[in-house]
Structure 1
Amino acid sequence: MGKVPFKIVALVLVAGATAAAAFATVTHLKPEAARAGASEPVVRPARVVEIAYLRQTRDLVLAGTVVPRIESTLGFRVAGKIVARSVDVGTTVKPGDLIAELDPADYRLAVDNARAALTSAEADHVRAKADYDRYLNLRGSAAFVPQTLDQRQSLAATAQARVEQAKSQLASAENNLAYTELRADAAGVVTAVLAEIGQVMAQGQGVARVARTDELEILVGVPEHRLKAVREARQASFELWSDPGHAHAARLRELSPSADPVTRTYPARFSVMQPPEFIGLGMTATLALERPDAKTVAEVPLSAIFQNGTQPAVWVVDGDSGRVSLRPVTIARWRNDTAAIEAGVKNGELIATAGVHKLEPGQTVKPVRQQLQAAR
């Protein structure tokens, strides 16, 4: 082999020395960087909210049905045979509309008899009155007898009373004739038909059931543990399932003192204050009752609650140092995405709302305030 040039050997030696120096420098710096990292812990940002105790409202939601306040079963005030029926189920009626009619023949005869009796009574009264007046003119003559005057006066008064009696009987017969026509007394809708043409009806027997549409209500069944909440509700509103998102005012009118034997709930009726145009009987509605909380609570995100065994707790963040500490709290109620804290933290304190299971006591964080939407 030939000789290696001196320049090449020199370059190799210089490169080796440089690499050794660099390795020694890196080896020396690693412990220093590690010690520097250990002495300066990383401060991570943490989302926080400020505790604010407020007297909030709660909503009790119940399913209900639109019903009429008044639903009457209409019937004839006299007996007879039905010869006509003008309505069916679902027919809308106005005051005075004909619903059904009885055979009026017998009642027309009764009117004729009463009218004839009145004519006869009026004739008797005219004769008796004339006799009385003629005899009264004989006063002072030898033919005048006071006892006879009294008798004729009595006969005239009796005849007058019979005229009044005949008038009353005629009016009663005319009323009975008018009662052979069954008419609606208010605006409404027919919900049931209980008789057919040709059927002989007794006095007062039901012919049709009419629900009045001038006053509508929302009927709900209240569970027994919600009775107090319904009584104390300060505001009520409802939404129709056919028109969601549009609330209408309602007011409690009646709360039954006894439970329904089938559903075991207490029927409650809420008056519709201003019914919408498209509301109809039998529609399904959602009734919401607004009631105030008895105590002030602080609504926080559900993610802020740390379950420490069986005791809920929150991480309280010190506003000056950023250090966190775990503190047990009392929860008034739970919701889908929030919790209402009743006690355990103070107004104005900051609590962490995210990553609570990764925090440790005494850990330092950088608070990042989160805007919490107020919950009803």
Structure 2
Amino acid sequence: MVVSRWLFAMGWSGAASLALAMAGCGHSAVESKAKAETAPKPVPVTVAPVELRPVERTVEVVGTLNGWEDVTVGCKIQGRVLKVHHDMGDRVKPGELLVELDPVDANLAVQQAQRQFQAELAKLGLKDLPTKEFDVTALPAVIQAKVALDRAKQNVARERSLNRRGAGAQQDLQNAENDEQGATAALANAVLTAQATLANARATRAAVDVSMQAKLDTEIRAPHPYALPAGVTGEIEYAVVKRSVAEGKMLKSGDPIIQLVIETPLRLWANVPERHCGEIVVGQAVRVNVASHAGMTFDGTVARINPSVDSVSRTFQVEVLVPNNRGLLRPGGFAKASILTDRSATASIVPIESVVKYAGVTKLFVVEAGKARSINVETGQEGLGWIEVTGELAKNAEVVTTGQTQLADETAVIVRKPEPESPAPVVSTAKAGTPDESKK
């Protein structure tokens, strides 16, 4: 009743104005609601902070494992194989007998040389060859020539004395002088002959040594390495890789017999790109992996670096010393290696799932003031669940780990907490047809 009177008092014009005002207010509210409904909703994402963490800088290479020494033992003399003592896969020590040749010819050669040596000693009147400087004037033949020279000199002196007293003939004096000259020449010849005989005795003695060495060469043994590998203090052992002869086979000088290899330590030969010349130094640690033991890492050390770069491949060779005490690695095998060049580098680390790669571009999203912003990055070292990135990242930046596929620059986001991981389901191990123990 009061409102009706008020409207009546205002008149029809006032009522119309009021109705128009109320209609305008209702239209504005509808537009605001429509705009709110059509505006993009914030994308729910999860984030993780960027971590600064020390990482190891490595140079990745591949190469071939080689034995410390790989040698093919050959035959020094001609002969027939009498017995083979070892075959492929056997382990032998330095000096151990590998193959025997028939020693009959070598024994006969030794006997022949010894007989010739004894004959030369007999000419000199000796039982053994003197080791020190020998005076040949003490030999019987030289003494005999010297005595003859002394007798000739005495005859010359007597004939001269007789000739001075007029009691001797001139012809007798000349004959005595000629005898003296002949005795002098005979003494010199005796000395030369003794020296030649002594030289022949020494030559035949060398022939005896040669024949005895040939006899020793009928026993072919594993060689002794010239030096022990670095860090190895125990006894070296060879492994037989290949046997090339059989019993009864005739061999010539230089024919291969058995191939041997030292299995521990091994040498890893790898080619490193030229750009890493300033990073690789002797003594750096190396991690080696092989396909036959995928879950294991073998430690090695850079032992040698080739000072020359290959002009064709633009690489230089590095030798890595790899201990193989357990015998798990095989010479000739393929290996991957990581050479540790720096252990103290600090890098920005993010979860690996935060990195987005599309059309050759690598980027990630960071959350700033409730909005997403993309940053182009480059990746580096990678580990279990993490990866190194370089780019314009703030120290306290938070990167998006889920929801990146719905994001673009300036997209509104809402950060949600990651869902807890659900426990793994219990898998029954009961076999088909066997009642579950829990139901008994």
- Which range, TM-score by smaller chain? 0.5 to 0.7
Q: Distance in 1 between matches of 2:260 and 2:278?
A: 31
Over 3 Å counting, the alpha-carbon distance change for 1:296 and 1:329 in structure 2 is farther
TM-superposed deviation, 1:355: 2.9
TM-superposed deviation, 1:292: 4.8
Contact 2:42 2:412 in 1 (8 A): no
Structure 2 unaligned blocks of 5 or more: 1-28, 127-135, 156-179, 225-236, 419-440
Matches within 5 A, 1:87-236: 87-126=86-125, 129-136=139-146, 139=150, 141-142=153-154, 145-186=183-224, 187-218=237-268, 228=275, 232-233=279-280, 234-236=284-286
> For structure 1, which segment, 115-124 or 244-253, has the greater mean C-alpha deviation from structure 2 after superposition?
244-253
TM-superposed deviation, 1:269: 4.9
Letter in 2 for 1:133: I
Corresponding residue number in structure 1 for 2:339: 289
Corresponding residue number in structure 2 for 1:354: 402
Q: Distance in 2 between matches of 1:305 and 1:89?
A: 53
Task: Report the secondary structure of 2:125's partner residue.
Answer: helix
Structure 2 counterpart of 1:248, from 263, 278, 299: 299
Over 3 Å counting, the alpha-carbon distance change for 1:230 and 1:268 in structure 2 is same
Contact 1:297 1:332 in 2 (8 A): no
Count how many residue pairs are aligned between Structure 1 and Structure 2. 321
Over 3 Å counting, the alpha-carbon distance change for 1:257 and 1:90 in structure 2 is farther
Encode CA deviations 1:53-85: one digit per residue, 9 max, x unaligned. 8675246264x6643132222122110111222
Q: Distance in 1 between matches of 2:336 and 2:286?
A: 11
Corresponding residue number in structure 2 for 1:13: none
Superposed CA RMSD: 4.3
Over 3 Å counting, the alpha-carbon distance change for 1:231 and 1:205 in structure 2 is farther
> For structure 1, which segment, 186-195 or 327-336, has the greater mean C-alpha deviation from structure 2 after superposition?
327-336
Q: Distance in 1 between matches of 2:367 and 2:50?
A: 10
TM-superposed deviation, 1:194: 1.0
Corresponding residue number in structure 2 for 1:47: 47
Task: Report the secondary structure of 1:288's partner residue.
Answer: strand
Over 3 Å counting, the alpha-carbon distance change for 1:358 and 1:132 in structure 2 is same
Matches within 5 A, 1:9-88: 46-50=46-50, 52=52, 56-58=56-58, 60=60, 62=62, 66-88=65-87
Corresponding residue number in structure 1 for 2:324: 275
Letter in 2 for 1:104: P
Contact 1:331 1:339 in 2 (8 A): no
Q: Distance in 1 between matches of 2:86 and 2:303?
A: 34
Contact 1:70 1:215 in 2 (8 A): no
Give the TM-score normalised by the residue count of structure 2: 0.59
Letter in 2 for 1:244: G
Q: Distance in 1 between matches of 2:50 and 2:97?
A: 69
Task: Report the secondary structure of 1:347's partner residue.
Answer: coil
Letter in 2 for 1:275: N
Encode CA deviations 1:79-137: one digit per residue, 9 max, x unaligned. 01112221222222122222222222222111111111111111112288112134445
Contact 2:244 2:257 in 1 (8 A): yes
| Overall identity of the aligned pairs, in % | 16
Structure 1 counterpart of 2:370, from 313, 323, 334: 323
Contact 1:316 1:325 in 2 (8 A): yes
Task: Report the secondary structure of 1:208's partner residue.
Answer: strand
The structure number with the bigger radius of gyration is 2
Contact 1:76 1:203 in 2 (8 A): yes
TM-superposed deviation, 1:206: 1.0
Task: Report the secondary structure of 1:353's partner residue.
Answer: strand
Contact 1:48 1:367 in 2 (8 A): no
Task: Report the secondary structure of 1:73's partner residue.
Answer: strand
Q: Distance in 2 between matches of 1:353 and 1:204?
A: 69
Q: Distance in 1 between matches of 2:186 and 2:68?
A: 66
TM-superposed deviation, 1:344: 2.4
Letter in 1 for 2:207: Q
Structure 1 unaligned blocks of 5 or more: 1-30, 370-376
TM-superposed deviation, 1:306: 5.6
Letter in 2 for 1:351: V
TM-superposed deviation, 1:228: 4.7
Over 3 Å counting, the alpha-carbon distance change for 1:97 and 1:171 in structure 2 is same
Letter in 2 for 1:345: L
